[in-house]
Amino acid sequence: MRPLVWFRTDLRVRDNTALFHACADADRGVVGVFAITPEQWKHKHDWGWPKAVFTLRHARALSEELATLNIALRVVETPGYEELPEELLAIAREHGCDALYYNREYEINELDRDDAVSDAFEGAGRCVEAHTDLTLTAPGDIRTKAGDPYSVFTPFKKACFARWDERGAPEPLDSPAKQDKMVGAPDVVPEQLDAYAGGEAFRADLWTAGEHAALTRLGVFASQRLAGYKDDRDAPAINGTSSLSPSLAVGALSPRQCLRAAMDANNGRYTDGAQGPDTWISELLWRDFYKHFVVAFPRVVKRRPYKTETEAIAWDDNDDHLTAWKEGRTGFPIVDAAMRQLEQTGWMHNRLRMIVAMFLTKDLFLDWRLGEKHFARRLVDYDFASNNGGWQWSASTGADAAPYFRVYNPTSQSKRHDPEGAFIKAFVPELAGLDKKTIHEPSRDGSLFAGDYPAPIVDHACARERAIDAFRALKTTQA
């Protein structure tokens, strides 16, 4: 057998389920293939320049890793998914590949794409093997006693632990078998795409590509910061998170590798251990939860709210407010610092993602889909399920969402999580001269606004009441 391994959001060699089994089954070598679909990425998936360029960099690193296993990575480029069945089949025919191996993806377009490719291969007399790899547990496998999918996180997590109690926690696979000789020659992965020409600049140097870099980050986090993760993760001014979300988003790192590192630091436990590892394992399961959710409730993939009654909300239409939010000019320092961090680095601290999302949807009362789309275009770690789940959580329209009456006060959040104002000063330098009390509410210093920093664009107390009233009215109308 000579399998063709189709790489997607699994750009790594180690603990790659499809690759591992393909290498074990092969007796005439293995060929890899990676598909670049820039029009699909940009216009249907809203990928921005950071995610697209980061993905290409990882594909180049993957090609080098595969070469050490005597596997050539072929590259096909088509505008969208429609052309992939014939393009991939042509690669299989060229190299005499009699099987296709890949790891499953779960959004609607990807499911349709994979069905079309599988039909083409099977119609041409070639077998297809699809594997579970992106999640710790296969979507659809974890259900309530009534057989329904979970829509609340805590019972979902408990059900995962119960499954692991019975069958053991998911473990990383061994390294794939090296092939005797390379079949064909690898293609060159482009560094840039015409569809993204002139793309936005960001600190690409912050995100080293490749699975070696990802595993190094994981090791440093597990040994140096995981123990304090529960206490440090909400402080944006310190390096208290794993910063592994970009690696997970492109598949340079597997969730099983992360779980194993956490368990190794937790005396082999996945729950009821030390607070740091326990908390991070919960975060890994939040990632699983959202991927399970898009399979169970595919309407969210179509940008519809999980709570369908919230489709009746009449969100504001205020382009000035939206622009001020995007550019970090709202007059709320913690919001502005977070949005500038996103613009400059392609990443945002998780606590800040909740703060700015709730500010957009509750203080500015703008449609959550506007924020979801902006994040998709700016995040180097963009992942549809996690991004959509986080935005709908903040907007009180999604699974296990924040109650509509819980509205973050950005000033209180700032004082609690950035008490010295260090994070604000790093990204809003025009406020660097303020003391740690004034920096959270510079509007109290009337003279400041003769300078570069704007006054608050909304009154939080009034905006909060307005948002609560709108959700309350919705419930009253539908009662």
The residues assigned a catalytic role are: 283, 286, 315, 350, 368, 391
User: Residues 337, 440: contact at Cβ < 8 Å?
Assistant: no
Look-up of token digits 């393009």 = 87
* Among the listed residues 416, 246, 430, the one whose alpha carbon sits nearest the alpha carbon of residue 336: 430
Q: From the DSSP assignment, how many helices (H) and strands (E) are in the chain?
A: 19, 5
CA dist., res. 28 & res. 97, Å (int): 9
Neighbours of 150 (CB within 10 A): 21
CA dist., res. 132 & res. 257, Å (int): 15
Residue 142's identity, in one-letter code, is: I
- Residue ranges with strand state E in 104-144: 127-131
User: Residues 60, 75: contact at Cβ < 8 Å?
Assistant: no
Look-up of token digits 């957009």 = 360
Q: Tell me if residue 72 falls in helix, strand or coil.
A: strand
User: Residues 87, 80: contact at Cβ < 8 Å?
Assistant: no
* Among the listed residues 347, 298, 289, 252, the one whose alpha carbon sits nearest the alpha carbon of residue 9: 252
* Among the listed residues 12, 23, 13, the one whose alpha carbon sits nearest the alpha carbon of residue 129: 23
Residue 418, burial from CB neighbour count under 10 angstroms (0-12, 13-18, 19+): buried
User: Residues 335, 359: contact at Cβ < 8 Å?
Assistant: yes
Q: What are phi and psi of 145, to 5 degrees?
A: -65, -25
